[in-house]
Amino acid sequence: MNAPANAAASTGSDYPEIRDSVRRICEKFPGDYWRDLDERGAYPEAFVQALTEAGFLSVLIPEEFGGSGLPLGAAAAILQEINANGCSANCAHAQMYIMGTLLRHGSEEQRRAVLPGIAAGELRLQAFGISEPTTGSDTTQLRTMAVREEDSYVIRGQKVWTSRALFSDYILLLARTTPLDQVTKRTEGLSVFLIDMRAAIGKGMEIRPIKTMVNHNTTEIFFDDLRIPAASLVGEEGKGFRYILDSMNAERILIASECIGDGRWLLGKGVSYANERKVFGRPIGQNQGIQFPLARVHVSLEAAALMVERAMALFEAGQPCGAEANMAVLLASEATWNAADTTFQTFGGFAFARDYDVERKWREARLYRTAPVSTNLILSHVAQHALGLPRSY
C-alpha cells in the first residue's frame, strides 16, 4: 500500500515550535541529572513534572478533556526530541500510547473520570500490564484471570516488566475473563481493565521493583483476589486482544521515533568527539576508519527515519500500517544500536567513563532490539503479513 501523497519525509523539521520547547526543557536536565538517577535507580520526577506542566504528556488528549488534541506525529516529535537532547523519554512515553485504548474503546464515564486529570497533571496513566513471567510474547496464553462476581471483577495472577507502576495512578490491565479452554479462538476471552491503583495497592495488589541494567523503573505486579468495580472494564468483555492490537501500531511508531532520537544524539556525540580528539597531531575523524562507520550510521538513521515517517503517515491517514510500524521499529533499533556501538568505539576507553553519558545511552539503545517487540518477532510478522509466507508459530 502506498503512503498518502502528502506523506513527505521529515528529518526532524516537523512541529518546530514543539521541538524548540522540548529542547529548552531538556537543557535544564543535563547529563549529571540522569547519571544521579541512574546510580540511585530513581524516577525522574522533576523531569516528568516539567513535561506535564508544559502540556507535552497530554498532546493526544482531545481538547474537550483539556488536552491539545494533536495527532500522533506531535507525540512522536516530543519523544524523539527528548532523546535527541540526551534525556530519556521512557519515563513517560507509555502514557501517550496507552491513552489510545482508552480514547477509542473506553466509556464516556471512564474518559471523563481520567483524561481531564491527566491533562491537568493531577493524574498519571503510565502503567500497562500485559507481559507475564510464563507467557513471553504469546499474549493469548495469559494466565491472569478476572472473574465476574455480581457488580465486581476479582483478579488473580501476576504481571512482569510493568514499568512505572510505582509512579502511576492508573494501570491498563489485560486479563482473561474466559478460560482458554472455553474459547473458539485463543485471541478471544481477553479483556482490558482500567484500574485505580491508589485504591488497589495493599488490597489485593502488590508491586515489586525489578533491578535492571537500565533505569526504567520496571516492576512485577501480583494480584491476589483484587476486587475492582465492574465499571473498570474497558469496552466489551472478551474483546481486549483486539483493543490492545489497535494501540500497538501507535506504540511501535512512537518507540521508533524515540529510538531515532537516541541514535541522533549518539551520532552527534561521536562526530563531535571525532572532530575534537587529536592523535598523532590530527583529529581522529580524519581517518577513514573513524569516518566511514560514522557515515554509515548517519545513512542508516536517515533511512530508518523515512520508514518511521511512512508508518506515521499511514497511521494518521487511517490506513493499515502494521507492517510499516513494525519495520520502523526494526530499522530504527538496528540503526541506533549501530550508532551506540560506533560512538562507543570512536570514544575508545573514554566511552566507559560515565561523565560522557555514552555508556548510559549505549545500555538504553540495546533495549530497543528486545522491547517493545523482539526483532525476531518483527521479521516473523513481516514474513507472514507482508510476504505471505506460512505462519511460523
Tens digits of residue pLDDT in 218-255? 999 999 999 999 999 999 999 999 999 878 999 999 99
Give yes or no: residues 272 and 380 share one domain.
Answer: yes
Q: Which residues of 174-211 are buried (b: 16+ CB within 10 A; e: fewer)?
A: bbbbeeeeeeeeeebbbbbbbbbbeebeeebbbbeeee
- Domain's final residue, options 223, 238, 253: 238
Q: Which residues contact 20 (CB under 8 A, 6 or more apart)?
A: none
pLDDT score at 141: 87
Of 11-15, 37-41, 113-117, where does mean pLDDT reach its minimum? Answer: 11-15
Torsion sign, CA atoms 197, 202, 205, 211: positive
Residue pLDDT, tens place only, 156-175: 999 999 999 999 999 999 99
**Region of poorest pLDDT, from 113-122, 128-137, 233-242:** 128-137
How are beta strands 282-283 and 233-234 bridged, if at all? unpaired
- Average pLDDT of span 41-69: 95
- For residue 292, give every residue at least 6 positions away whose Cβ sits within 8 Å of its Cβ, in sequence order, or none: none
Read off the pTM.
0.93
What total number of domains does the chain contain? 3
Residues 6+ apart with CB under 8 A from 161: 131, 210, 218, 220, 371
Looking at residue 13, its pLDDT comes to 57
Tell me whether residue 390 is in a domain.
Answer: no
Closest-CA residue to 205 (of 243, 166, 255): 166
Digit-coded pLDDT (tens) for 352-386:
999 999 999 999 999 999 999 999 999 999 999 89
The yes-or-no verdict on residue 68 having pLDDT over 90 is: yes
Residue 272: pLDDT over 70? yes
Q: Do 196 and 85 share a domain, yes or no?
A: no
CATH of the domain at 110: 1.10.540.10
262 falls within a domain: yes
Same domain, 250 and 342: yes
Cα 53 versus chain centre, distance: 21
Same domain? 267 vs 329: yes
The 3-state DSSP class for residue 195 equals strand
Task: Please check whether residues 325 and 379 belong to one and the same domain.
Answer: yes
Distance CA 164, CA 207 (A): 10
Residues 205 and 131 occupy one common structural domain: yes
Are 167 and 246 contained in the same domain?
Answer: no
pLDDT digits (tens, 9 = 90+) for 287-345: 999 999 999 999 999 999 999 999 999 999 999 999 999 999 999 999 999 999 999 99
In this structure, the number of other CB atoms found within 10 A of the CB of residue 381 comes to 18
Grid coordinates given for 68: 491539545
CATH code where residue 164 lies = 2.40.110.10
Quote the cell numbers at residue 386: 507482508
Query: Which range of residues forms the domain containing residue 70?
Result: 16-124
- The count of other CB atoms within 10 Å of the CB of residue 51 is 24
176 & 227 share domain = yes
Q: How confident is the model at residue 12 (pLDDT cuts 50, 70, 90)?
A: low
Does residue 381 share a domain with residue 267? Answer: yes
Both 190 and 72 in a single domain?
no
Confidence band, pLDDT 50/70/90 cuts, at residue 393: low
Spatial contact of 184 and 263, defined as CB atoms under 8 Å apart: no
CA atoms of 247 and 387, how far apart (whole Å)? 23
Q: Do residue 53 and residue 92 come from a single domain? A: yes
Whether 11 shows a pLDDT value over 80: the answer reads no
Is 4 domain-assigned?
Answer: no
- Together in a domain, 253 and 381: yes
Question: With bands split at pLDDT 50, 70 and 90, how would you rate the model's confidence at 178?
Answer: very high
Distances 133 to 38, 208, 220, 221 between C-alpha atoms, Å: 25, 14, 9, 11
Q: Residue 159 in contact with residue 221, Cβ under 8 Å?
A: yes
Does residue 5 lie within any of the structural domains?
Answer: no
